[in-house]
Structure 1
Amino acid sequence: MTYTSSLLRLLDERGYIHQLTDAEGLDKLAASQVVPGYIGFDATAPSLHVGSLVQIMLLRRLQQAGHKPVVLMGGGTTRIGDPTGRDESRKMLSDETIDANIASIRTIFERFLSFGDGPTDAIMVNNHDWLGKLGYIELLQEVGTHFTVNRMLTFDSVRLRLDREQPMTFLEFNYMILQGYDFRHLEKSMGVRLQMGGSDQWGNIVNGIELARRMDGVEVFGVTTPLLTTADGGKMGKTAAGAVWLNEDQLPSYDFWQYWRNVDDRDVGKFLRLFTDLPLEEIARLESLGGSEINAAKVVLANEVTALCRGADAAKAAEATASATFAGGGVGQDLPVFTLPAEGIGIIDALVGIGFAASRGEAKRLVAGGGARVDGEQVTDENLVIAGGSEVRISSGKKKHGVLRPA
């Protein structure tokens, strides 16, 4: 359909829309008033990773279109754990750890959203503030009557776990009830009319919409984004080295920049639309580049995303490091560093120490496969000892570089 609201036109043009509960109704609402919309994030770690970035950008687009983003931190639901996409129960975290994680995660959102008291300023709320006060009997009487076990068992988050004969605790089984209650509470307390999320959250979003309708007779809406995978079928934000964290403390800016610089050629246009504010005309020009010129578009992508997430200075430093390392053959300032002992160090220990291999066995396989280099020279002897006393560049393959630096 042709959208009349700037919100849905923006989301459609940029490729965010997968499912809408009522496209016409939401379009009409967004064209006539400021719509508060929310996305929930659990606080299981001090940082979110790249897999959450499309949802963060979705909140950014909501604000850019003149509406109000509500960041819901799951201080309450983190204590339970979302079973969606999981094969095992989540480890329980202490209250202190959850609170510290929320404080750390907030710094990410402050780069993407404008917070304040205005009608379109973002706010962050914590569902522990209301779920923590909800009595069990009250929950059963007020909310439980609107959910049937028959229907809950059909939800993918439950069915897949049961099909795999993986245990699901009663605690986790309640997650979808509490998430539905979140939507109802946010609508009643601050007029939130829209919940957004990934396609795997469709069932949970619909639950909240039905709960608000049954309990309060209120019409609210849902939007989900497509399941985001890379062109080679991989999961967004996952690499062989682990998660691509958004916070600097969990992942250096250079490594973050390199993740975007090294994306598949086929993903450049899609990622520019989803993760940058570049005009669509400029994105069309960049994704049309062929051959080696596409690398220039990847540098633009890396710079734009890193500037948004880490700041312009971090993006400039990362690009300068890449230029010095790859083009100039030098040693950039942002490369990972490992202390080089005065007596020297074996190549295997160096590869493990700097993080290019998770174990000595993996490091040996890297050397045997011709992937290890010292100062640009391929290493063929796993017993090589790198002499101490001077700075040395060490590499794994063509894209991972680091520095061995004397103490």
Structure 2
Amino acid sequence: MSILHELRWRGAINQHTDEEGLLKLTQEKSIALYCGIDPSGDSMHVGHLIPFMILKRFQLAGHKPVILIGGGTGSIGDPSGRNSERPLQTMDTIMENAEKLSNQMRHLFEAGSEQSGIKLVNNYDWLSELSFLDFLRDFGKEFNVNTMLAKEVVASRLDTGISFTEFSYQIIQSVDFLHLYENEGVQLQIGGSDQWGNITAGLDLIRKKVGPDANAFGLTIPLLLKADGTKFGKSADGAIWLDPEKTTPYEFYQFWFNQDDRDVIKYLKYFTFLSKEEIDEFEKQVETEPHKRAAQIALAEEMTRFVHSQQALDEAISISQALFSGDIQNLTADQIASTFKDVPSSEAPKEERNIVEFLVDVTGIEPSRRQARQDITNGAIRIKGVQIKDTDYVISEADSFDGRFIIVRKGKKKYFLVHLK
């Protein structure tokens, strides 16, 4: 199966400029292709992964991906997908973000390895050397304003207004494509569906500067929607980041594990490198044994391993199993800190207290001493995963995780975290 046929099967092609020509080119030789990301933040989230998963597939098929970190374009802001101007950031912030994104890319693509075929570039390196007059003479002359206004990304902003800075973004991105075509041999740009206008503008510029027979192509990936029609990439708590400090590997694992049966096969095709035969088998299991969630488990394992590591996956599975069984005694204090960071919490001194007073006065998980005694007697209260049925039990530092936290569980799912000080 050719790379384009595989992408078609995976539902990963939205638009292309010349499918027949690109198919022929990719079958004849190894090509260089690129995808870019602006350093508007210090981490990618799972929504950013979509085009880069396609880039990774080209890499595995023997092609040569170039990753462009937009230190230059990021300083002015891409107008796509918003109804207002992007706030400008300082160059120090942009460069710090660029370095962090570069490190994430190196991890995902193993850049620097002779076998990887990956190259990282920053468009600040060439855009910063371009004078304003050269920009207008060499490139501005090649763009018709009426054509630019017709591009969807600009047309969608005309009612609310768009600055000349963001209006010029498509020219600058076109300069990037031309630069990479001439200096890195890049013949294909890929991006999200919102990048179609910018990509085709770049192709037009290449043909004007190089010649009408320039062998360059564009390809976009569909907007990924969930079964309920909402945009993929966010949980109820917000974006799912690749940075483990922003979204822990456990949270990352759970995000994928909790995907809807209606979406999971689509995500296996988009995000994993499992074969067609393997995914077809998971599709059968979703239909016949959905309660086993085999497809969700595979998705969570593949993605956590790919984005983080096998060690991070093992830890995420260990935490998941501990929470499912309620047997949390063997979790570390650091695991407790990350796993229970969003549950209700309070602070308390490191001193011994009767469990009834502790539940009412320290945690507030019980509304009254009478209710606390009743729940304790009925076996509804667990401290550090251990069921406590004695109303005279004394809470001490021995019930904590490394002297830092005490975890109270009421019933099956209600947790409370006490920070000891």
TM range (shorter): 0.7 to 0.9
Paired with 1:246 and 1:107, the residues of 2 have a C-alpha distance of 11
Match of 1:392 in 2: 407
Corresponding residue of 1:296: 294
* Deviation (angstroms), 1:236: 1.4
CA distance in 1, matches of 2:381, 2:139: 63
Question: Is contact 1:206-1:222 (8 Å) kept?
Answer: yes
Distance 1:259 1:144 in 2: 45
Counterpart position of 1:406: 420
Paired residues of 1:287 and 1:294 also in contact (CA < 8 A): no
Which of 215, 235, 240 is matched with 1:219 structurally? 215
Does the 8 Å CA contact 2:348/2:418 hold for their aligned counterparts? no
Q: 1:397 to 1:196 in 2, by over 3 A?
A: farther
Distance 1:91 1:345, change over 3 A: farther
> Where does residue 240 of structure 1 map in the other structure?
236
Q: 1:341 aligns with which of 335, 342, 348?
A: 348
- 2:81 is aligned with 1:113: no
Where does the alignment leave 5 or more consecutive residues of structure 1 unmatched? 352-372, 377-386
Find the aligned partners of 1:179 and 1:28 in 2 and give their Cα distance.
Answer: 26
Alpha-carbon distance in 2 for matches of 1:153, 1:36 = 30
- 1:346 positional shift: 8.5
What amino acid is aligned across from residue 133 of structure 1 in structure 2? E
Provide the residue aligned with 1:125 in structure 2. Answer: 121
Give the structure 2 partner of residue 382 of structure 1: none
Secondary structure of 1:195's counterpart equals strand
The residue aligned with 1:46 is: 42
**1:182 alignment partner in structure 2:** 176
Name 1:196's counterpart in structure 2.
190
In structure 2, relative to structure 1, the CA distance for the partners of 1:388 and 1:83 (3 Å cut) is: farther
Equivalent in 222, 228, 251 of residue 255 of structure 1: 251
**Alpha-carbon distance between aligned partners in 2 of 1:140 and 1:58, rounded to the nearest angstrom:** 34
Contact 1:76–1:132 at 8 Å: present in 2 too? yes
State TM-score, norm by structure 1: 0.83
Task: Give the CA deviation at 1:397.
Answer: 10
Instruction: Give deviations 1:224-278, integer Å, cap 9, x for gaps.
Output: 1111111111211122211111111221111111110111111111111111122
2:18 maps to which residue?
Answer: 22
1:396–1:27 Cα change, 3 Å: farther
Deviations 1:108-154 (Å, cap 9, x if unpaired)?
Answer: 22232132375861010000011111111111111112211111112
* Distance in 1, Cα, partners of 2:364 & 2:241: 24
- Counting aligned pairs with the same residue, the percent is 39
Distance in 1 (alpha carbons) for counterparts of 2:181 and 2:364? 55
In 2, the alpha carbon distance for the partners of 1:397 and 1:106 equals 43
Distance 2:276 2:309 in 1: 22
Partner of 2:374: none
The match for 2:308 is 310
Are 2:93 and 1:97 aligned? yes
Q: 1:26 to 1:100 in 2, by over 3 A?
A: same
Task: Tell me, in whole angstroms, the C-alpha distance in 2 between the residues paired with 1:151 and 1:397.
Answer: 61
The separation in 1 between residues aligned to 2:51 and 2:412, in whole angstroms, is 33
Which among 318, 321, 326 is matched to residue 320 of structure 1?
318
Q: What root-mean-square deviation, in Å, do the aligned CA atoms of Structure 1 and Structure 2 show?
A: 2.9
What SS does the aligned partner of 1:222 have? strand
Q: Alignment partner of 2:68: what SS?
A: strand
Deviation at 1:404, TM superposition (A): 3.6
Deviation at 1:219, TM superposition (A): 2.5
Deviates more, 1:268-277 or 1:108-117: 108-117
The AA in structure 2 aligned to 1:341 is A
Deviations 1:200-232 (A, max 9, x none): 111111100111001111230011111111111
What is the Cα deviation at residue 327 of structure 1? 3.1
Residue-pair matches, total = 370
Q: 1:341, 1:388 within 8 Å by CA — same for their partners in 2?
A: no
Q: Match for 1:60 among 56, 81, 84?
A: 56
Provide the residue aligned with 2:276 in structure 1: 280
Taking structure 2 as the reference length, the TM-score comes to 0.81
Q: Is the 8 A contact 2:363 2:418 kept in 1?
A: no
CA distance in 2, matches of 1:402, 1:292: 32
Rg (Cα) greater in structure:
2
Structure 1 counterpart of 2:90, one-letter code: S
- The structural deviation recorded for 1:99 is 1.4
Structure 2 gap segments, 5+ residues each: 352-357, 366-379, 384-394, 400-405
